[in-house]
Chains A and B, each alone.
Chain A
Amino acid sequence: MATNSPTNSSIRKLNKRWGEFMIKSWLVVCSALSLITTAAIVILLVVESFSFFQNVSPSEFFFGTRWVPILEPSSFGVLPLLWGTLQVTIGAALIAIPLGLASAIYLSEYASDRMRSWVKPALELLAGIPTVVYGYFALTFITPLLRNIFPEIQVFNALSAAIVVGIMILPTIATLSDNALRAVPESLRQAAYAVGATSYEVTTRVVVPAGLSGVMASFLLAISRAIGETMAVTLAAGQTPNLTLSMFESIQTMTSYIVQISLGDTPAGGVAYQTLFAVAALLFFITLIINIISQLILERFREVYD
């Protein structure tokens, strides 16, 4: 196809430039899609929540203590759902943070490379298991176990959900914190050992403080995952909006409420349908704030070593 005629070659150049332009435009459109997605989520949630708040006062929504969206007399206090989510999240964090951090310390400070090459993929596998499987695990394994220990516990209960979500987010904390701890330079450890510190003192007073920003970010990321977790919580914790301190009773979280409504035949346009968006907006903004804080911690407080 090689031609020496000047017109042909300039046409080819033009074609090339034209093609290049088309391709670049396509790439730009694809990249813009991510911005459009975010905009669509925010606009949808804000607009639909706005029409919800024309029917229900914000003070009733944010401070009301009864959540009865479908039956009459209805009441739209979101606190029971928020509290249910909090119960599961706090329980899960109490389990996953100490255990996850301990696993991360073992992986980065104590395990041999051989050990590591076995344990880390196993933990990643644990993280890759679909959440509906964890729901099955909660209902058929953890809840019966809990009922043997505490006979008064209900079939659906917050404790089982918290335990299973804790197991679910543990690998996130372990693998991300392990990365953060391994990024701490060896020279810091050697310096501490040289002045006579034991491995425990090196870990708790040098390595963990030096990697703290990454460790904290992993905690927050895991907590935000726990808040947004849906299927395991829906299966294990039940569908009863319940403002209780007890972990033994059936509760409902924000996410499981959304599932409950979408499984039912709620007609589009009604107040009950709008609650979907109001609850989702609350969920979205809570997790967004936590994610942003976690990114800020990573950016602002990262210790840079050379």
Chain B
Amino acid sequence: MAFSSEREKLNLRKRHARARGFAFLCALVTWSSVLILGILLFQVCIDGFGWLDWEFINSFPSRFPDRAGIKSALVGTMWLISLVAAISIPVGVSTALYLEEFAAKGRLSKLIEVNIANLAGVPSIVYGILGLAVFVRYFALGRSLISGALTMSLLILPIIIIASREAIRTVPMSIRYAALSLGATRWQTTWAHVLPASFPGIMTGVILSLSRAIGETAPIIMIGALTFVAFLPAGPMDSFTVLSIQIYNWVARPQPEFHDLAAAGIIVLLAVLLLMNATAIYIRSKTERRLK
């Protein structure tokens, strides 16, 4: 009897030791992942910070690393994102509104729902091929900003729709009933009550999807954005380059100076993304406080 309890004690100690070890291991792994993020950012900053000045931002790309800059890429990115926002926000939010507020919950809306979930999982390069075949060649829009913007809009539409639907779903039914009972039509209810109430949530989703569009490289390469653009695009039909393509182009070169230029470009890109993410988080925290 004593022997068995002695064994049990040993066994128990072992079990507790294992539990502690496991907890430690999980914590270690998690913090290492965060550490990797830190190392990545640190490394990029060290490599690129020396190159980062006004001249870098205000110069066109060049064969000579000293004179190369990201002016055309930065302007191209702004053009592209503005066009993508103008196309994808109305269409995406409209789809979400239809699915949540208007569509009868039947086979068709289920089909659209499953379809959107699957579209969200299609690799971005496949959208690139679609854009190349449909916008660049079939509609003969060429390797222009508008081709890129249309392709990118298709890519982020599923994300905007899913995020907007979640935001719309959080609006309590009582608000809709109140409006409808006063004689408002479906659309009046949606426009005047549901949309304003879900606006912050929709904005958060939109900003996050647009920041995904800023970082995407593969579909824009497929569209054929140029890597060497020494002019600023003046309209949607002009050819263009974007930050991520410029970075890709510099990383792909063998000379280390261009790698440092790429690092400087990455700092600018990450700064833009961080700003957008911070805005999204700010909007989210502000509305959370209001709802409390």
Contact = CB atoms under 8 A, between A and B. Distances in A.
Given A30-B98, A123-B33, A125-B277, A136 B247 contact: yes
A37 interface: yes
B29 interface: yes
A198 B30 contact: no
Given A38-B118, A230-B124, A255-B123, A200 B95 contact: no
Interface centre among A119, A136, A198, A201 (most CB of B within 10 A): A136
B125 interface: yes
Interface residues of A, number: 81
Interface string A98-112: 010011011101110
B33 A174 contact: yes
B161 to A, nearest CB: 7
A23 interface: yes
A128 B30 contact: no
Given A255-B218, A259-B218, A280-B126, A34 B98 contact: no
Contacts of B125: 228, 230, 255, 258-259, 280, 283
Given A106-B30, A259-B218, A201 B15 contact: yes
Interface stretch (B64-72, B172-180, B261-269): B261-269
A199 to B, nearest CB: 5
B94 A27 contact: yes
B102 to A, nearest CB: 6
Interface stretch (A53-61, A66-74, A241-249, A287-295): A287-295
Nearest to A295: B117
Contacts of B122: 41, 228, 284, 287-288
Interface in B144-184: 154, 157-158, 161
B119 A34 contact: yes
Contacts of B241: none
Chain B interface SS verdict (over half): helix
A11 interface: no
Contact of A126 (B25, B37, B187, B252): B37
B76 interface: no
Given A31-B99, A284-B122, A24 B27 contact: no
B263 A136 contact: yes
B130 to A, nearest CB: 5
B134 A140 contact: no
A111 B26 CA distance: 10
A156 B77 CA distance: 29
Contacts, number: 241
B102 A203 contact: no
Nearest to B118: A291
Nearest to A102: B29
B277 A27 contact: no
Interface in A157-197: 167, 170-171, 174
A221 interface: yes
A131 B122 CA distance: 16
Given A20-B185, A106-B30, A262-B132, A235 B91 contact: no
B35 to A, nearest CB: 10
A16 interface: yes
Interface string A20-40: 100110111011011101101
A139 B259 contact: yes
Contacts of A268: 137
A131 B94 contact: no
Contacts of B119: 34, 37-38
Interface in A215-235: 221, 224, 227-231, 235
26 contacts: A27-B95, A28-B98, A30-B91, A31-B99, A31-B103, A34-B157, A38-B118, A41-B130, A45-B126, A103-B33, A106-B27, A125-B277, A126-B36, A130-B269, A133-B40, A133-B215, A135-B251, A167-B33, A170-B33, A221-B121, A230-B123, A230-B125, A258-B222, A259-B221, A283-B126, A292-B118
Given A102-B29, A119-B34, A140-B43, 15 more contacts: A33-B91, A34-B115, A34-B157, A45-B126, A122-B37, A123-B34, A132-B248, A133-B40, A140-B259, A140-B263, A141-B39, A167-B36, A201-B19, A228-B126, A235-B252
